A and B are shown apart, each in its own frame.
Chain A
Amino acid sequence: MSLSQIETETAGVDAAAAPVAPQPGMVGRSPGRLAWARLRANRTAMVSGWIMVFFVVLGLAAPLVELVYGISPFEQFQDKIANNSLPLGYLGGVSGEHWFGLEPQLGRDIFIRLVYGLRTSLFIAVSAALLTTGLGIVLGIVAGYLGGWIDAVISWVIDFALALPFLIFALAIMPTVTARFYGPRDEIPVPFRIGVMIFLFALFGWTGTARLVRGQVISLREREFVEAARASGAGLFHILFRQLLPNLWAPILVSFSLAVPGYITGEAALSFLGIGVVDPTPDFGVMINKSLSYAQTDPAYLIFPGVVIFLLVLAFNLFGDGLRDALDPKSSR
């Protein structure tokens, strides 16, 4: 840079900086809209997104489905169960009336139980994901921005929680907590069981989001737009939630969308092990646990719930991946 250049350039002031040709509407394409356009262009993500929506609607509309289908999840069709407790007919009793067949022994309809199971599973998974994401955001932002001993404590707690084997801890906590509130021979209500499960997921699940958000905040913290806000006298709240948070939505959305299938799997696993939802309530994990004893004689009982939960998790995972690609075009799969 030399003096002469300045002198010569002064002649053409503003020539290059003149506003670009006005575009219709004058509304900018926000980063969010650009990501949406990229997501729309991703066929896998769109297809899995629609499957996801289908499952969610099916779960939400379970009573409606029951009305149309005409069979309740608790109805037993003993007349269609043979003496060896297996359903009559082929493929575990698949028929026009019972689309996915019947459960061995009790003779309940598998299709309608799966629809209600979807409802249980999605309710727990989505609530847990919302709770963990919220907790993770707050703790991650606080740790990342404030730094110092607060960060040291939160980071240590994150590492600590990661050192705890979730499933084994869940195994240990579940009976302890129930025993705290209910006697050994009491009936434990379903909402309580579901509540404890969500609580367990929240207790262990926030660390992932918190870690992610903390890292992002640390890289954003030094940006000059944060300093600009501080130089204007902005308080902590403004900086954390007005300046930083809008820049965190992308990773948060991705981690949320990938947390949901994780909790679907987790919920099914807990129920499979007998410490989550228990029998009369329709649930994937419970169904598969029971079906294993019939694996030899009635494989269809295992296959229907197994395939449904696989498709459900796959759709969420694929959509989550698509979302990540759309929000962060640099990341390659």
Chain B
Amino acid sequence: MTQPLLKVRGLTKHFAVRQGATGAKSAVRAVDGLDFDVHAGETLGLVGESGCGKTTTGRMLVRLLEPTAGSIEFQGRDITKLGRRAMRPLRQDLQIIFQDPYSSLNPRHTVGKIVAMPLEVNGVNPPGGVKARVQELLELVGLNPEHYNRFPHEFSGGQRQRIGIARALALRPKLIVADEPVSALDVSIQAQVVNLLRELQRELDLAFVFIAHDLAIVRHFSRRVAVMYLGKVVEIGDRADIYERPRHPYTKALLSAVPDVAAFGEPRQRIRLTGDVPTPLNPPSGCRFRTRCWKAQDVCATEEPPLLVREGSGQEVACHFPEPVGVGAEHVSEVAA
């Protein structure tokens, strides 16, 4: 395979917090050693419940947060140690779309100013002038270029998200981190925005890291999918493998919660996870999912399962007792391989 556009190894972020009456310092292990690659023009879906560290990961990728440890290689260059000046040319290739279309646009700036901001900041003067470029971008994301002089409060949520997308595209990036770009939108608008992103990807040969808590949206959009749980990737692989042949019990549980038209009429077996997500301040030993897993055994508490390709499917799974391939939702435990 060619060299990946983005290569993440051992990415870790711990937040220091004070807690208790004494104010003792401890660390929230928001992201704890992630490895994944993203190739040019490809989309990686990053899925997990809220609080699993996916947003933190996204922010580290565009250097809004400094990683505690690990490396992020972009086009073969480690960007975690670069200063602001050295980072500048790379910023143009690496952009982010935010979740909340209301707080992501400066309410006192016109749409034109918002979309032109990355150009202004980086001193880019596109041929034909900034205004022409901005109007071109607005048209590209399906907005009326004449709305250049309007203010964000005059637009709907979906339109605002389009403005945010136009801004991310202004510098012609190679990779965009989309941090739950549709979860704040009305259901009826979500599909339009996702389709817009898909069209843009095709036209502009963009790579995406698409963060979502919703497996359905990720499937629609991503070629590869990574499932996160408590700051770790538990399963990563091609879309087909993850959706058709999930091996990690957590993935399986997530998938069972998604209504599926194809399975209409068949009896649905939904796996209900019991208990709460443990606190990342003090994650469980060994396998982090063991406290909610119906297959957990003693080994899960003592040994952390490595992320490996298992026989029967192509994806990597971090589980001592992966689900068998081709079996439905009945819980057949397998003897440890």
Q: Give the docked Cα–Cα distance between A16 and B162 (Å).
A: 13
Partner of B122, one of A27, A31, A227, A232: A232
Q: Give the docked Cα–Cα distance between A86 and B104 (Å).
A: 70
Q: Give the docked Cα–Cα distance between A306 and B298 (Å).
A: 87
Q: How many A-B residue pairs have CB under 8 A?
A: 142
Is B189 in contact with A16, judged by CB distance below 8 angstroms?
A: yes
Is A26 in contact with B153, judged by CB distance below 8 angstroms?
A: no
Q: Is A225 an interface residue (CB 8 A)?
A: yes
Residues of A near B153 (CB, < 8 A) are 31
Contact with B along A248-274 (1 / 0, CB 8 A): 010000000000000000000000000
In whole Å, how far is A288's beta carbon from the nearest beta carbon of chain B? 43
**Number of chain B residues whose Cβ lies closer than 8 Å to a Cβ of chain A:** 65
Residues of B near A4 (CB, < 8 A) are 259, 261
Q: Give the docked Cα–Cα distance between A93 and B114 (Å).
A: 65
In whole Å, how far is B74's beta carbon from the nearest beta carbon of chain A? 14
Q: Give the docked Cα–Cα distance between A232 and B103 (Å).
A: 16
Interface residues of B in 28-84 (CB under 8 A from A): 59, 62-64, 84
Residues of A near B63 (CB, < 8 A) are 231
Which segment of A5-13, A125-133, A161-169 sits at the interface?
A: A5-13
Which segment of B126-134, B144-152, B287-295 sits at the interface?
A: B144-152
Interface residues of A in 213-229 (CB under 8 A from B): 223-225, 227-229
Contact with B along A296-320 (1 / 0, CB 8 A): 0000000000000000000000000
Residues of B near A1 (CB, < 8 A) are 187, 190, 214, 216-217
Is B144 in contact with A234, judged by CB distance below 8 angstroms?
A: no
Q: Give the docked Cα–Cα distance between A231 and B179 (Å).
A: 13
Is B216 in contact with A17, judged by CB distance below 8 angstroms?
A: no
Interface centre among B121, B149, B216, B258 (most CB of A within 10 A): B121
Q: Is A329 an interface residue (CB 8 A)?
A: no
Residue of B nearest to A228 (CB): B104
Q: Give the docked Cα–Cα distance between A231 and B178 (Å).
A: 13
Interface residues of A in 8-63 (CB under 8 A from B): 9-10, 12-14, 16-17, 19, 22, 26-31
Which segment of B17-25, B88-96, B274-282 sits at the interface?
A: B88-96
In whole Å, how far is A145's beta carbon from the nearest beta carbon of chain B? 15
In whole Å, how far is B222's beta carbon from the nearest beta carbon of chain A? 13
Is B216 in contact with A3, judged by CB distance below 8 angstroms?
A: yes
Q: Is A105 an interface residue (CB 8 A)?
A: no
Contact with A along B98-124 (1 / 0, CB 8 A): 111001111111110010011001100
Q: A13-B192, A227-B64 are in contact. Are A6 and B118 (CB under 8 A)?
A: no
Q: Is A233 an interface residue (CB 8 A)?
A: yes
Is B106 in contact with A243, judged by CB distance below 8 angstroms?
A: yes
Residue of B nearest to A234 (CB): B121
Q: Is B8 an interface residue (CB 8 A)?
A: no
Q: Is B331 an interface residue (CB 8 A)?
A: no
Is B108 in contact with A233, judged by CB distance below 8 angstroms?
A: no
Is A233 in contact with B88, judged by CB distance below 8 angstroms?
A: yes
Q: Is A247 an interface residue (CB 8 A)?
A: yes
Residue of B nearest to A17 (CB): B158
**Number of chain A residues whose Cβ lies closer than 8 Å to a Cβ of chain B:** 38
Residues of B near A223 (CB, < 8 A) are 103-104
Q: A6-B216, A13-B195 are in contact. Are A28 and B151 (CB under 8 A)?
A: yes
Q: Is B326 an interface residue (CB 8 A)?
A: no
Q: Is B191 an interface residue (CB 8 A)?
A: yes
In whole Å, how far is B184's beta carbon from the nearest beta carbon of chain A? 11
Q: Give the docked Cα–Cα distance between A6 and B148 (Å).
A: 30
Residues of A near B220 (CB, < 8 A) are 3, 6
Q: A1-B214, A3-B216, A14-B192 are in contact. Are A232 and B149 (CB under 8 A)?
A: no
Q: Is A2 an interface residue (CB 8 A)?
A: yes
In whole Å, how far is A11's beta carbon from the nearest beta carbon of chain B? 9
Partner of A27, one of B64, B95, B118, B149: B149
Residues of A near B110 (CB, < 8 A) are 28, 30
Could you jot down 24 A-B contacts, CB within 8 Å? A1-B190, A1-B216, A2-B216, A3-B219, A3-B260, A9-B188, A9-B192, A16-B156, A16-B189, A22-B146, A28-B147, A28-B149, A28-B150, A29-B154, A30-B108, A224-B103, A225-B105, A225-B106, A228-B96, A228-B104, A229-B121, A232-B118, A232-B122, A232-B171
Residues of A within 8 A of B (CB): 1-6, 9-10, 12-14, 16-17, 19, 22, 26-31, 223-225, 227-235, 238, 243, 246-247, 249
Other A-B contacts than A16-B158, A19-B146, 13 sampled, CB-CB below 8 A, are: A1-B187, A6-B216, A31-B153, A225-B114, A227-B59, A229-B117, A231-B62, A231-B64, A232-B117, A233-B91, A233-B92, A233-B122, A235-B84
